[in-house]
A = this chain, B = another copy of it.
Amino acid sequence: MEITVQKTDNPKEKPDQGNLGFGTNFTDHMFIMDYSKDKGWHDARIVPYGPMKFDPAMATLHYGQAVFEGMKAYKSPDNRILLFRPEKNMERLNNTNDRMCIPRIDEEFCLEAIKKLVNIDKEWIPTAPGTSLYIRPFIIATDKYLGLKPSSTYKFMVILSPVGAYYPQGVNPVEIYVENEYVRAVPGGTGHVKTSGNYAASLKAQAEASARGYVQVLWLDGLERKYIEEVGSMNVFFKIDSELVTPALVGSILPGVTRDSTIELVKSWGIKVTERRVSIAEIFEEHKKGRLDEAFGTGTAAVISPIGELNWEGRSIKVNDGKTGRLAERIYQKLTGIQTGELEDDFGWTEKI
């Protein structure tokens, strides 16, 4: 399929790299492709970024049939444009599509479309430390219809946002509230895929944790409220003694690309990594024994987010005296080094545009 390109006549002014924030600025162009039952995915095009006309009865607005991905592009010191394991995101998008009754995309073609779009807006890729170009592919159901059934038409779109460091003050440990009222996901549900409803459902717990003075929530499993699943919208790791432990992908946990990369990276350093059930009681117990060295979240937005404190049912523990752990710091430096092209990519993870 050919991708038509219509360039903007009114390029926007680029935002100040020192004050980008996250997801508030958008580049000059976007990619759009339509789906209908008779034509399949068709009419692939890059057009000027801007508002679109949607019918008030559009299915996504009512029944939430919407899915997305999150990726980043970096400009390397030698001026290459790098993506980080983008094929993993395309693969996950199709897994999400399958669960949400959305037609599959051609992963290779969509990756080509993303590369073409990023290349057209390459002057928007920020270069200040910690910054990147955030890439948001997403699919929305576009039928004008209030009956409850999978839409027969969709739009696949890609928008780009130059973003600052997720934590402008650098990687600092955050205080986490262990959630015991609200549930993020349960096996048989949608927690293992990236659909919009998962995120809306998480807002209330986050808001209540914020009101209590915590930055994020740690999610426990919805069945027994014992086992750790995710932290905020990130996967979570614990360094217990000499071992790195992370919850196994039991069907209610998102298989994060940064999670997968962290596991592979840390194993390559000769450190044991175990994917298994981890209960919150075990973490508190290991802390008591002095064996809980570190805890941190992993995700595309923040890459690594150290946990400084955990509050569970009124009991609070400090992890690593509230300081960033050595392993978390080492993973952060190596992963961001590979992503930005500043360090050697021994894993073949980066893809040049």
Contacts and interface: CB of A to CB of B under 8 A. Distances in A.
A94 interface: no
Interface string A34-57: 000000000000000111111111
Interface stretch (A77-85, A109-117, A184-192, A286-294): A184-192
Interface stretch (A23-31, A169-177, A338-346): A23-31
Interface string A60-77: 111111101000000000
Interface string A140-166: 100011111110000001010100000
A147 B206 CA distance: 13
Chain A: number of interface residues, binned into ranges: 35 or more
B51 A55 contact: yes
A136 interface: yes
Contact of A197 (B55, B148, B186, B200): B200
A182 B187 CA distance: 8
A128 interface: no
Interface string A199-230: 11111101100000000000000110000000
Given A100-B204, A149-B203, A188-B181, A64 B138 contact: no
Given A189-B222, A190-B197, 7 more contacts: A52-B54, A62-B196, A62-B199, A64-B195, A64-B197, A186-B222, A222-B222
11 contacts: A50-B55, A60-B196, A61-B66, A63-B200, A64-B66, A186-B223, A195-B197, A195-B200, A195-B201, A197-B198, A223-B223
Interface of A: 21-24, 26, 30, 49-57, 60-66, 68, 99-101, 134, 136, 138, 140, 144-150, 157, 159, 161, 181-183, 186-190, 195-204, 206-207, 222-223, 233
Nearest first, the 4 closest Cβ-Cβ pairs linking A and B are A197-B197, A23-B146, A64-B196, A183-B188
